[in-house]
Structure 1
Amino acid sequence: MNPLTSDELRALMDCKSGSCVSIFLPTHAKGGDTQQDPIRLKNLLKGAEEKLVQKGMRSASAKALLRPAQDLVSDTRFWSHQSDGLAIFVSPERFILHGAPFDFDELVVVSDRFHTKPLLPLLSGDGLFYVLALSQNQVRLLQGT
């Protein structure tokens, strides 16, 4: 997954539909916790389906809308290449995935537009970072992008 750009965020914010589903969850790049990530998504999708039905959508239509995200639950290759957080956006017109270098709290929002607030920290930085390298003989400050 590529990093989120400001244009992509703007497109998400401009999307209006009666059924915009936004799902945020923490994920794990390695270790035993990676096996919990698909289960966590499955439970969040169940919550999204319930919210869609509460808004008046038929259960079969809600399942069809969420099918692309549901397919990820059993995709072992997908889960083996994760960062710290995952954002999923589903509407009748779109299915968008974005990884994040930080954890998200588990969240499902069903609305007439996508919930993008948890993504804002991705755009707040200028892309620079610093590393302080210390050794017995030397101190260096490195700048990276």
Structure 2
Amino acid sequence: MHDLAMLEGKKVLLVDDEPDILDMLSEELEMCELYRARDFESAKQIMEKERFDCVVLDIMGVQGYELLQIATSFKIPAVMLTAHALSPENFIRSIRSGAHCYVPKDKIIDICFFVWDAIRAHKQQEKEPSQWFEKLKSFFKKKFGRNWTEAHDPNRKPEKPPGS
């Protein structure tokens, strides 16, 4: 079980080009110390000046992958948020690029859980995806197809090639 009290006072940067999404995120994460940015340059400047416990990045519209690169260089756990870029390819790219998790905007109501999980996993120096993927597995299966997790489950250990 997760303890959302852990989010109290945590410093979180929210980046999205849609003001209504920023407002929804702000409402859900009201217990945190929030910073908001609507574009790449603003987000980059804020990340260079402040230290954050977590960043929530939109993929489209704000150069999310470039911001993810900056966040990972500062060792800030990142939650990727998307609507238009919801695909297995973007999922894999996000995780391989260092995002803690990849969250569809349909699940914004659960953003506290995803931010909590990113901060917790970062503190414990977990290298593998944790609870967030289990929470979204059925959603991804519905969106991407039944066999999707066979090839894309970040918790799945790669098989050793024959003869190794």
Q: TM-score, normalised on structure 1?
A: 0.31
- Structure with the greater alpha carbon radius of gyration: 1
TM-score (norm 2): 0.29
Greater share of helix: 2
